[in-house]
Amino acid sequence: MSWLLVAGVVLSTVACDLLQSWEMKRHGGLAARVFARWPILLSVVFMAVSFFCLLELLKREDLSFAVPATAASLVVETLLARVLLKENVRTARWAGAALVACGVALLSK
């Protein structure tokens, strides 16, 4: 169950961050206009899902497991930033994402 909660935090965080980045790059501008757009509103929903999954995870697991395990969102976000948002991800960032992935893998042992 703990890994399911980790997946909930990771996937909802990734969805939130991708939607925010995509919408701000498309429209940017004043906050009043931004909050009227559906991608930003949906990102807030995903942010809430992430928060409540993290709270539940913290009830079940130690902080020393929960926070590093949810860092997997950095790996997924780096990959999706390149694929979906067409961002230029430099080698140093790929290396950082790989190190985070190694750390998350160590937690699963």
pLDDT in tens, 34-79: 667 888 889 999 999 999 999 999 999 999 899 889 999 999 999 9
Does this model's pTM top 0.85? Answer: no
Task: Inform me whether the pLDDT recorded for 99 exceeds 90.
Answer: yes
Complete DSSP assignment for the chain? -HHHHHHHHHHHHHHHHHHHHHHHHHT---HHHHTTSHHHHHHHHHHHHHHHHHHHHHHHS-HHHHHHHHTHHHHHHHHHHHHTS-----HHHHHHHHHHHHHHHHHT-
In the chain, pLDDT over 90 holds for what percent of residues? Answer: 66
Q: Which of 67, 66, 89 is nearest to 77 (CA)?
A: 89
Output the average pLDDT for the chain.
90
Structure confidence at residue 24 (pLDDT): 82
Boundaries of every domain in the chain: 2-107
